[in-house]
Amino acid sequence: LDANVCSLLHDATILHADLDAFFAAVEQRDDPALRGRPVVVGAGVVLAASYEARAFGVRSAMGGKLARQLCPHAVVVSPRMSAYVDASKAVFEVFEDTTPLVEGISIDEAFLDVRGLARISGTPLQIADDLRRTVREQVGLPITVGVARTKSLAKICSALAKPDGLLLVPADAEAVFLHALPVERLWGVGPVTARRLRAVGLERVGQVAALGEPALVALLGRGTGRKLHALAHNRDLRRVRARRRRRSIGAQHALGRRQRTPAELDAVLVGLVDRVAGRMRKAQRVARTVVLRVRFDDFARATRSHTLAQATAETPALLATARALLGALDPLIERRGITLLGVSLSNLADTPSGQLGLGFADERARALDATLDSIRERYGNSAITRAVLLGRAERASLPQLPD
DNA sequence: TCTGGGGTCCTAGGACCC
DNA sequence: TCTGGGGTCCTAGGACCC
- Per-residue pLDDT tens digits for A58-84: 999 898 899 999 999 999 999 999 999
Q: Quick one: which of A63, A24, A21, A57 has its CA closest to A40?
A: A24
pLDDT the model gives residue A392: 46
CA distance A390 to A59: 57
Nearest-10 Cα torsion for A154, A157, A161, A163 = 50
User: Does A137 score more than 60 pLDDT?
Assistant: yes
Give the separation between CA A177 and CA A175, rounded to whole angstroms.
5
pTM, rounded to two decimals:
0.82
Q: Is A44 exposed, middle or buried (0-12, 13-18, 19+ CB in 10 A)?
A: exposed
Judged against a pLDDT cut of 50, whether residue A102 lies above it is answered with yes
Give the nucleotide nearest to A105 (CA→C1'): C18
Mean pLDDT over A238-263 rounds to 89
- The gap between A346 CA and B9 C1' (Å) is 13
Question: How far apart, in whole angstroms, are the C-alpha atoms of residue A282 and residue A74?
Answer: 39
Residue A342 near residue A296 (C-beta atoms within 8 A): no
Instruction: Say if residue A171 is exposed, middle or buried (CB neighbours under 10 Å; 0-12, 13-18, 19+).
Output: middle
Nearest to A132, CA basis, from A101, A104, A164: A164
pLDDT of residue A242: 86
Nucleotides of strand C lying closer than 7 angstroms to a protein CB: 9-18
What percentage of chain A has pLDDT greater than the value 70? 85
pLDDT class of A256 with cuts at 50, 70, 90: confident
Cα-Cα-Cα-Cα dihedral sign, residues A179, A181, A185, A189: positive
User: In angstroms, rounded to a whole number, what is the distance separating the alpha carbons of residues A354 and A362?
Assistant: 12
Q: How far is the CA of A386 from the C1' of C1 (A)?
A: 39
pLDDT band at A152 (very low <50, low <70, confident <90, very high): very high
* Angstrom distances, CA of residue A32 to CA of A39, A48, A246: 12, 18, 37
A52 labelled catalytic: no
The length of chain A in residues reads: 403
Q: At what angle do helices A315-336 and A262-282 cross, to 10 degrees?
A: 140
Give nucleotides in strand B with any atom < 7 A to a protein C-beta.
1-12
Q: What is the pLDDT of residue A378?
A: 60
**A319 half-sphere exposure, CB direction, 13 A CA radius:** 16
A357: pLDDT strictly greater than 90: no
Give the residue among A67, A38, A166, A155 at the shortest CA–CA distance from A106. Answer: A155
Q: How far apart are alpha carbons A142 and A10 in whole angstroms?
A: 26
Judge whether residue A100 has pLDDT over 80.
yes
Which pLDDT score is estimated for A97?
Answer: 95
Q: Please tell me the least confidently modeled range out of A139-148, A176-185, A203-212, A379-388.
A: A379-388
Say whether A140 sits in a helix, a strand or coil.
coil
Report whether pLDDT(A244) > 90. Answer: no
On average, the pLDDT of chain A sits at 86
Select which of A27, A52, A103, A109 is catalytic. Answer: A109
Kindly report, residue by residue over A375-399, the tens digit of the pLDDT: 555 655 554 444 444 444 444 443 3
How far apart CA A150 and CA A139 sit, in angstroms, is 28
**Measured between alpha carbons, how far is residue A383 from residues A141, A380, A389, A390 in Å?**
57, 6, 11, 11
Mean pLDDT of A308-318: 93
C1’ B17 / CA A17, Å: 47
